[in-house]
């Protein structure tokens, strides 16, 4: 029961703080849009999958008109409102994939390094350091060069860039967890190295990693959209993706500012919500930072 009480306390602390509650509402709103768009897109007004306007081939962006095109249209004849709504699902899904993928690899490397210690630890951590010493944007460009230019490849490139952070973090946590008496007890009762790592160390490393994921997600959404913006994913003009939308609108930005403003606002609000929620989660889950 103690654990349940702990969760209750965490949730209460999260909701008592106005800013983290606001963050939670924003993030849930985005997740809601993404889920609705995947299940029943008409509910949020998305009528066609590639958001191209039927019988509308004017590539020059048109200003917002209510209620036909509330956000206006953008190059090449796309309703911006539908495109942004559909793009939220794409960006959220890939960003989620990137942090979870990065965290899985990072936890594996970090926990093995911490538990094995000695030479294996040294080698794994030096490799991690080398990956960390390459600034992420040029590095993602180099990885993307090999894998090809597409959204799946971009996610894989960003996982390669992101895992070292989680590896260092997981190792730090695992180092203190493995000194606990219950790990010693498990060892004494004959549990193998793999069993100790998966059953006793990993579950206790997960909570801080989870907080780290929530702190990172806002940044990952931004980075993902930044790379599609500079043309990393040659996905074609009709793929609804926030960075691609901004990039398609870039040539018209001065005469038709709405084409870059709306997709950017969508990224900004999500990043703000995620950062608010991440800060709140960290405060709620980490008793040391409670004030």
Partner 1 sequence: MTLRYYVVRRLLLVVPTIIGLTLIVFILTHVGGDQRFLGEYINIHSPISVSVQEQQLTQRFHLDQPVIVQYFYWLSAFFHGDWGYTQTPIYSGPVSGAISLFLPNTIVLATLSSVLTVIIGIPLGVWSAVKRNSLVDHATRVFSFVGYSLPVYWLGLLLIIAFASPAICPCLNLFPVSGAVNISLTNGLSWYQGGISFPTHVLLVDSLIYGRFDIFADALMHEVLPVLTLTFSIVASVIRVMRSSMQDTLNQEYIRTARAKGLPNSAVVNQHARRNALIPVLTLMGYTIAGLLGGVVLIESIFNLPGIGYWTTQALLSGDIGGIMGGTVIFGLAFVFSNLVVDILYGYIDPRIRY
Interface with partner 1 by CB under 8 A: which residues?
A: 126-127, 129-131, 133-139, 141-146, 218, 222, 225-226, 229-232, 246, 250, 253-255, 257, 260-261, 264, 267-268, 271-272, 275
Cβ distance to partner 1 smaller for residue 53 or 84: 84
Cβ distance to partner 1 smaller for residue 246 or 285: 246
Q: How far is CA 10 from the centre of its chain?
A: 22
Tell me the two tokens of residue 46: 């998305």
Shortest CB 222 distance to partner 1, Å: 5
Q: Let me know the angle formed at the C-alpha of 193 by 192 and 197, rounded to the nearest 5 degrees.
A: 120
Shortest CB 267 distance to partner 1, Å: 5
Shortest CB 47 distance to partner 1, Å: 27
Shortest CB 126 distance to partner 1, Å: 7
Helix (H, G, I), strand (E, B) or coil at 69: strand
Cβ distance to partner 1 smaller for residue 187 or 282: 282
Block residue for tokens 């606990």: 180
Cβ distance to partner 1 smaller for residue 189 or 291: 291
Shortest CB 235 distance to partner 1, Å: 14
Residues 6+ apart with CB under 8 A from 91: 221, 224, 225, 241, 242, 243, 267, 270
Shortest CB 46 distance to partner 1, Å: 23
Cβ distance to partner 1 smaller for residue 115 or 136: 136
Cβ distance to partner 1 smaller for residue 112 or 267: 267
Are 290 and 283 spatial neighbours (Cβ–Cβ below 8 Å)? Answer: yes
Backbone phi and psi for residue 271, each to the nearest 5 degrees, phi listed first? -65, -40
Strand partners, 74: 78
Nearest residue to 34 (alpha-carbon basis) of 23, 24, 47, 43: 43
Block residue for tokens 């306390």: 9
For 120-245, list the strands marked E by DSSP: none
């Amino acid at each position: 029961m103690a654990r349940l009480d702990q969760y209750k306390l965490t949730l209460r602390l999260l909701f008592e703080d106005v800013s983290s509650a606001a963050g939670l509402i924003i993030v849930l709103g985005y997740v809601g849009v993404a889920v609705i768009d995947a299940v029943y897109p008409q509910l949020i007004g998305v009528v066609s999958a590639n958001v191209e306007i039927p019988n509308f081939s004017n590539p020059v962006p048109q200003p917002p008109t209510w209620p036909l095109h509330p956000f206006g249209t953008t190059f090449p004849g796309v309703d911006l409102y539908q495109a942004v709504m559909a793009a939220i699902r794409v960006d959220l899904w890939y960003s989620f994939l990137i942090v979870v993928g990065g965290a899985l690899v990072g936890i594996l490397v970090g926990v093995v390094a911490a538990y094995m210690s000695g030479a294996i630890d040294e080698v794994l951590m030096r490799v991690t350091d080398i990956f960390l010493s390459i600034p992420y944007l040029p590095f993602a460009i180099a990885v993307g060069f090999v894998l090809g230019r597409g959204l799946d490849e971009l996610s894989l490139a960003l996982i390669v860039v992101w895992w070292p952070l989680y590896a260092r973090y997981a190792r730090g946590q695992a180092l203190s967890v493995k000194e606990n008496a219950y790990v010693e007890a498990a060892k004494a009762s004959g549990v193998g190295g793999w069993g100790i790592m998966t059953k006793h160390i990993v579950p206790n490393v997960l909570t801080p990693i989870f907080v780290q994921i929530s702190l990172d997600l806002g940044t990952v959404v931004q980075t993902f959209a930044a790379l599609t913006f500079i043309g990393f994913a040659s996905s074609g003009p009709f793929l609804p993706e926030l960075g691609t939308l901004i990039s398609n609108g870039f040539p018209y930005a001065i005469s038709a500012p709405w084409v870059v403003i709306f997709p950017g606002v969508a990224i900004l609000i999500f990043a703000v919500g995620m950062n608010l929620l991440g800060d709140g989660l960290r405060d709620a889950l980490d008793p040391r930072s409670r004030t």
